[in-house]
C-alpha cells in the first residue's frame, strides 16, 4: 500500500453535511487515543477478557453486512484474494499496515503481520496483545468462510504486539480445536 493508493482511496470520499461518505458507507474519523481510551475503560470495568468479548462478539454480529459489501466489490475473486483485500482496506483506513503471511483454507488458518498499529506509543508495558479492535476482522471473515463452505468456529490470538514491546504485531486466526 503506497501513499498513491491512499490518495486514490480517499479521493472517493465525499463530505455531505457533516457525514464522511465512501459511496453508501459512512466513515467516522477518530483520534487513535480515543479508541485506546475506550479499550482502557472497557478493561477497567469488564477486565481484559470481558473487553475482548465485547469487541469480538460485536464484530461477529455486525460482520455480515461488511462481508456482503466486500463480496459484491470482489465479484468472483477467490477467497484468499478477498481476505487480502479486506486487509488492504484496513491498511488504507489507518489501522496499521497489514500483511497476510500465511493462509490456508483446510484447515482455516490465517497469520497476519501488523506493522505500525494504531496503538503504537499509546499503550506500553502490556503482557499480552492489546490491538483489540483488530480482532474485528474475524467478524468479516466468518461470513465469507461460511459462504465458501469452510469451518467457522475460530479462535483469534495476537501473539506479538507493540504494546508489549515487540517491534510489530502479529495475529493468527485458526479453527478452534475440539476440547
Ligand atoms: Zn498489537
Distance CA 62, CA 73 (A): 18
Helix (H, G, I), strand (E, B) or coil at 125: coil
Is 70:140 a contact under the CB 8 Å cutoff?
yes
Beta bridge partners of 98: 114
Instruction: Say if residue 142 is preceded by a cis peptide, omega within 30 of 0.
Output: no
Report how far ligand 1's centroid is from the alpha carbon of 86 (Å).
18
Measure 169 CA to ligand 1 centroid, in angstroms.
4
Rounded distance from Cα 39 to ligand 1 centre (Å) = 13
Please report the pLDDT score of residue 156 as a whole number.
95
Mind listing the domains of the chain with CATH numbers? Answer: 31-175 (3.30.1380.20)
What are 156-175's pLDDT values in tens digits? 999 999 999 999 999 999 99
Per-residue pLDDT of 73-103, as tens digits, reads 778 889 999 999 999 999 999 999 999 999 9
Q: What is the pLDDT of residue 15?
A: 96
What is the distance in A from the centroid of ligand 1 to the CA of 165? 10
Distance CA 44, CA 95 (A): 23
What's the 57 CA to ligand 1 centre distance in angstroms? 19
Splitting the chain (179 residues) into consecutive groups of 10 residues, what average pLDDT does each group show?
88 96 90 97 97 93 83 84 92 95 97 98 97 93 92 95 98 88
First and final C-alpha spacing in the chain: 40
* pLDDT value of position 1: 67
pLDDT at residue 29 in the model: 93
Distance separating alpha carbons of residues 121 and 87, to the nearest angstrom: 22
CA of residue 59 to ligand 1 center, whole Å: 18
> If you measure from the C-alpha of residue 37 to the centroid of ligand 1, how many angstroms do you get, rounded to a whole number?
15
Look-up: residue for cell 485458526?
Answer: 174
Amino acid at each position: 500500500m503506497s501513499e498513491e493508493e491512499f490518495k486514490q482511496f480517499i479521493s472517493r470520499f465525499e463530505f455531505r453535511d457533516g457525514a464522511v461518505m465512501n459511496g453508501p458507507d459512512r466513515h467516522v474519523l477518530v483520534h487513535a487515543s480515543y479508541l485506546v481510551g475506550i479499550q482502557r475503560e472497557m478493561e477497567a470495568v469488564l477486565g481484559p477478557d470481558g473487553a475482548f468479548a465485547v469487541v469480538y462478539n460485536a464484530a461477529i454480529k455486525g460482520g455480515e453486512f461488511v462481508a456482503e459489501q466486500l463480496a459484491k466489490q470482489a465479484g468472483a475473486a477467490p477467497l484468499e484474494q478477498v481476505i487480502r483485500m479486506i486487509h488492504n482496506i484496513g491498511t488504507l483506513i489507518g489501522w496499521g499496515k497489514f500483511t497476510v503471511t500465511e493462509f490456508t483454507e483446510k484447515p482455516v488458518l490465517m497469520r497476519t503481520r501488523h506493522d505500525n498499529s494504531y496503538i503504537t506509543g499509546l499503550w506500553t508495558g502490556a503482557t499480552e496483545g492489546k490491538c483489540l479492535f483488530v480482532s474485528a476482522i474475524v467478524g468479516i471473515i466468518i461470513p465469507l468462510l461460511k459462504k465458501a463452505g469452510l469451518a467457522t468456529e475460530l479462535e483469534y490470538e495476537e501473539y506479538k504486539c507493540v504494546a508489549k514491546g515487540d517491534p510489530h504485531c502479529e495475529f493468527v486466526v485458526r479453527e478452534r480445536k475440539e476440547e
